[in-house]
Structure 1
Amino acid sequence: MRASRMAEKTKKTSPAEFVNQVRAETSKVVWPTREETVRTAIFVFIMVIILSLFFLGIDSIFGAVVSWLLTLG
């Protein structure tokens, strides 16, 4: 019931006004430079490689431990 009262109080925005608001907010955004984008992409790629190798190592260790435990029985 409370939600319906709050919905009645909110002002409805027309589609044209919404588009104008989106354009105004988009113009305030500070977009990254090409150099920042490339640097960030390289950093992400390197971190993906490092973490992939890390998890491969952890998975291999756990796999070896489980295989060893299964051979005990």
Structure 2
Amino acid sequence: MQQPDLSGARWRKSSLSADGPSCVEVAFINDAVAVRDTKDRDGGTLVFRRDEWRAFIGDIRSGSFDNLT
């Protein structure tokens, strides 16, 4: 996937981050979802296609990552 233009992205903090120090932000851009570290906004961005994002979130909700070492 080509890196989307994030200059006009509307970032929002994860609702699970509360006001803690470990936070992520997401932005929905056309057919992609971008994720970045709130503490290091210039440090890089992960970009997922929407179907990849849905699968990732589904795996988290189902506990599929609980047994990773």
Same fold (TM over 0.5): no
> Higher relative contact order at CA 8 Å, sep ≥6: structure 1 or structure 2?
2
TM-score under structure 1 length normalisation: 0.27
In terms of fraction of residues, the more strand-rich structure is 2
Structure ID, larger Rg: 1
TM-score by length of 2: 0.28
